[in-house]
Amino acid sequence: MFGEIEEDPNRTAVRALGVKAMLVWVADALVLLCPAMSTAQPSGPGAELYIAKGCLSCHGASARGGVGPPLANTKLTVDPFVG
């Protein structure tokens, strides 16, 4: 009574093309909405110190953690880091 319904290969291809087009559109939108992140520059002496001391490699570009613990939004002062 309930036989298998064969899917039309053309319809599957059109659906796949639609999904790909949507993904390209989303990627383009993200590029337009997020300014060039790769060209971001340090915003002050603290950022320069963060890069110079090598903190970036463990704590991440936004100091939210990585291999090392997060530093962003903590009450730490600069004193422990400059010594």
Residue type, 58: C
Distance in angstroms (rounded) separating the CA atoms of residues 74 and 22: 40
- Neighbouring C-alpha atoms within 13 Å toward the C-beta of 26: 6
| CA distance to 46, 49, 50, per residue, from 43 (Å) | 8, 11, 11
Tens digits of residue pLDDT in 23-33:
888 877 777 77
Domain boundaries, the chain: 40-82
Dihedral sign of CA atoms 59, 60, 63, 65 in order: negative
| pLDDT profile of the chain (83 residues), mean per 10 | 67 79 80 60 74 85 84 78 66
Say what the pLDDT of residue 71 is: 82
- Neighbouring C-alpha atoms within 13 Å toward the C-beta of 54: 1
